[in-house]
Amino acid sequence: MYSLFLVSWLGLAVGAVATLHDGSLNIPPQAQVIDQRSFNTLNSVPPPSQVDGFSPFSPPGTSQESLKARPFHIYDEEFLDIIGPNPTLTLLNHTQSDPIFHEATVWYPAKDEMFFVQNAGAPAAGTGLEKSAIIQKISLSAITPSIANQRNASGSVKIEIVDSNPVVINPNGATNYKGQLLFMGEGQGEAIAPAMYLMNPEPPYNTTVILDNFFGRQFNSLNDVSINPRNGEIYFTDPTYGYTQDFRPPPALPKQVWRFDEATGVVRVAADGFQMPNGIAFSPNGKHVYITDTGIAQIDLDFSLPSTIYRYDVNEDGTLENRKAFAYVTPGLPDGIHVDTKGNVYAGCGDGVQVFNPSGKLIGKIYVGSVSANFQFAGEGRMVVLAETELYYATLAAEGAFPGKLYGD
Ligand SMILES: *[C@@H]1O[C@H](CO)[C@@H](O)[C@H](O)[C@H]1NC(C)=O
Ligand SMILES: *[C@@H]1O[C@H](CO)[C@@H](O)[C@H](O)[C@H]1NC(C)=O
Ligand SMILES: *[C@@H]1O[C@H](CO)[C@@H](O)[C@H](O)[C@H]1NC(C)=O
C-alpha cells in the first residue's frame, strides 16, 4: 500500500513538472503555456530608458499579438484548474479614449448585474475637479453563450448609466455590504470630502453617506474596500491619488489602511507604512488580508518604490500583523485585488489579471495587453475585466469568494 502510493505520487509529481513544458498537457484553445526558462537569459537586456516598469513584456518567440490571441497564459500547471477545459475571453465594448471601464467592479447577484465606474482622475475622462466619475452597469444574464464564444462581441451588451442620488462623487472602489453596494468616493476639490456611500442597487439608486471624516479631518481620497468576513467591519485604503491627479488638496493624513465598525462608529488605523495603499481583499477564510502598495505611481513614476502585494495575518480581534511581501508585480502595478474560494489571489495589473497561488507564485494570467485596474468574479465561472477603454467578459472554472462571506473555518 505504502510503496504503491509513494510510487504513484512520485510518478505524478515528476509527470507534473515534465508535462507543463513537453506539450503533453491538454491546453485549451484560448490558452498557451509560457515557459519562464525561455527568458531567464536574453541575448541583450535593454536599459531602463527603453524598458521600464510599465512596458509589456513579450518573451522570446512571442509578440503582443500572439500573447493576446490566446489570452489565458499558463505559468504553472495549477492554473489549469482555475481556467478549466474551455476558458473564454470576450471584448464586450470599447471606447476611443474615455476610460469608463475603470474600477469598483461589484456584482449584484439578485439582478445578476455588474456595476463599475469611470476613472475619476483621468484627463481623457474630464473627471476629477470639474466633473464626477459616473457609475454604470451591465446585465450579465444578457451575455449568452453565443456572445461568450466570440472573441470580439463589441456592442452586443447594453451599458446603462446608474444615476445615484445623492450622487456618489468620484467613486473608485466598491464592495457588497449588507445586501447593498458600498462605494468609496475620492472627494472633489477642498469642499467635497472623500466619503463612503451606501447605495441601493435598485432604482432609484438612493445613497446614504456612512463615513466622511476622522475626528473632523478629511480623508485623502478613499480608494478601495473589503469586508472582514470574521467581524463584518469595513477595511479601506486611503492613498493620495486625488492629490497626485490634481483634484484634491495636499495630503492631511498619512497614506494608510483604516477599519470602520459601523455598529459602534469606531474608526481606527489598521495598517500604515505604505507609499500608496490601494487594493484590499480578505482571504476566503478571513485569516489573511492582501493589501497592494502602488507606490510606484506617485505624481511621477518611481520605479524604486513598491508595486507589491503585501499579506497580513488577521487576528481574532481584527488587528493586522506579520506583514509579508507576497508578490512584486510587473508590468505596471497591482491595483484591484480579489480572491477565489480556494484562496488564489488575482490582481489587476499592467497587462491584465495576474493570478498567484496562496504562496505568492505567479501561476497564470488573463492577458489583455494593457492596464486592467480592476475586475470582479460573478460567482462561479464568470468574471468581468475592466481595461479602461475596453470591457471584457471571461468564463473560467474558478469561483470568486463573495465579498464579506466566510469560507472554511
Ligand atoms: C471589435 O469589433 C468592433 C466592431 O465590429 C471593431 O470596431 C473593433 O475594431 C474590433 N476590435 C478588435 C480589438 O478587434
Ligand atoms: C458600447 O455601449 C454603448 C452603450 O450600450 C453603445 O451605445 C455603444 O455602441 C457600444 N460601443 C461599442 C464599440 O461596443
Ligand atoms: C433608500 O430609500 C429607502 C426608502 O426610503 C430606504 O429604506 C433605504 O434605507 C435607502 N437606502 C439607502 C442606501 O440610502
Indicate whether 406 belongs to any domain.
no
Quote the CA–CA distance of 115 and 306 in Å, as a whole number.
29
Q: Which three cell numbers stand for residue 334?
A: 497591482
* Mean pLDDT rounded to a whole number for the chain: 94
| AA identity, residue 280 | I
DSSP 148-175: HT-SB-TTSS--EEE--BS---SEEEEE
Shortest-distance Cα residue to atom 1 of ligand 1: 152
Pairing state between β 72-74 and 31-33: parallel
Whether 89 shows a pLDDT value over 50: the answer reads: yes
Residues in the chain: 409
Quick check: CB of 150 below 6 Å from ligand 1?
Answer: no
Q: How far is the CA of 212 from the centre of ligand 3 (A)?
A: 18
Quote the CA–CA distance of 394 and 87 in Å, as a whole number.
7
Indicate whether 100 belongs to any domain.
yes
**Closest ligand to Cα 94:** 2
Average pLDDT over residues 126-143: 96
Atom of ligand 2 nearest to the CA of 94: 13
Ligand 3 pocket mutation, candidates 200, 207, 209, 211, criterion most atoms within 8 A of CB: 200
Q: Where are the beta strands (DSSP E) in 247-404?
A: 256-261, 266-271, 277-282, 288-293, 308-314, 320-328, 337-339, 345-349, 352-356, 362-367, 374-377, 380-387, 390-399
Contact 404, 177 (CB under 8 A): yes
Q: How far is the CA of 202 from the centre of ligand 3 (A)?
A: 10
Question: What's the pTM?
Answer: 0.94
User: Taking CB atoms and a 6 Å cutoff, what residues make up the pocket around ligand 3?
Assistant: 180, 198-200, 206-208
The domain tally of the chain equals: 1
Contact 2, 27 (CB under 8 A): no
Quick check: CB of 152 below 6 Å from ligand 1?
Answer: yes
Which residues have a Cβ under 8 Å from the Cβ of 181 and sit 6 or more positions away? 106, 108, 115, 174, 175, 198, 199, 201
Domain that holds residue 134: 3-399
Average pLDDT over residues 166-192: 98
CATH number at 33 reads 2.120.10.30
Contact 263, 255 (CB under 8 A): no
Backbone angles phi, psi at 339, to 5 degrees: -125, 155
Atom of ligand 2 nearest to the CA of 154: 14
Q: What is the pLDDT of residue 24?
A: 67
Q: DSSP character for 141?
A: G
Indicate whether 33 belongs to any domain.
yes
Quote the CA–CA distance of 336 and 353 in Å, as a whole number.
9
Indicate whether 404 belongs to any domain.
no
Ligand 2 pocket mutation, candidates 96, 159, 389, 393, criterion most atoms within 8 A of CB: 159
Whether 183 shows a pLDDT value over 60: the answer reads: yes
Average pLDDT over residues 320-346: 98
Quote the CA–CA distance of 3 and 29 in Å, as a whole number.
38
| AA identity, residue 161 | I
Quick check: CB of 208 below 6 Å from ligand 1?
Answer: no
Percent of the chain clearing pLDDT 90 (strictly above): 93
Atom of ligand 3 nearest to the CA of 199: 13
Q: How confident is the model at residue 409 (pLDDT cuts 50, 70, 90)?
A: low
Quote the CA–CA distance of 25 and 77 in Å, as a whole number.
9
Q: Which three cell numbers stand for residue 237?
A: 485604503
Shortest-distance Cα residue to atom 1 of ligand 3: 206
Q: What is the pLDDT of residue 408?
A: 86
Quote the CA–CA distance of 285 and 358 in Å, as a whole number.
12
Q: How confident is the model at residue 10 (pLDDT cuts 50, 70, 90)?
A: very low
Q: How far is the CA of 94 from the centre of ligand 1 (A)?
A: 8
| AA identity, residue 196 | M
Pairing state between β 103-108 and 380-387: unpaired
Indicate whether 389 belongs to any domain.
yes
Average pLDDT over residues 115-139: 96
> In 3D, which of 375, 382, 323, 324 has the Cα closest to residue 354?
375
Shortest-distance Cα residue to atom 5 of ligand 3: 206
Whether 255 shows a pLDDT value over 70: the answer reads: yes
Whether 229 shows a pLDDT value over 70: the answer reads: yes
Average pLDDT over residues 316-329: 98
Shortest-distance Cα residue to atom 9 of ligand 2: 155
Q: How confident is the model at residue 261 (pLDDT cuts 50, 70, 90)?
A: very high
Q: What is the pLDDT of residue 23?
A: 62
Indicate whether 54 belongs to any domain.
yes
Residue-wise pLDDT for 300-311, tens only, equals 999 999 999 999
Q: What is the pLDDT of residue 25?
A: 77
Shortest-distance Cα residue to atom 10 of ligand 1: 152
Indicate whether 236 belongs to any domain.
yes
Residue-wise pLDDT for 361-396, tens only, equals 999 999 999 999 999 999 999 999 999 999 999 999
User: Taking CB atoms and a 6 Å cutoff, what residues make up the pocket around ligand 2?
Assistant: 93-94, 154-155, 158-159
Task: Please give the residue that has the higher pLDDT: either 9 or 319.
Answer: 319
Q: Which three cell numbers stand for residue 32?
A: 498557451
Lowest mean pLDDT among 23-27, 161-165, 309-313: 23-27
Indicate whether 63 belongs to any domain.
yes
Q: Which three cell numbers stand for residue 214?
A: 476622522
Q: How far is the CA of 206 from the centre of ligand 3 (A)?
A: 6
Q: How much of the chain is in helix, strand and coil states, percent to nearest 5?
A: 10, 40, 50
Ligand 3 pocket mutation, candidates 167, 168, 206, criterion most atoms within 8 A of CB: 206
Quote the CA–CA distance of 233 and 200 in Å, as a whole number.
19
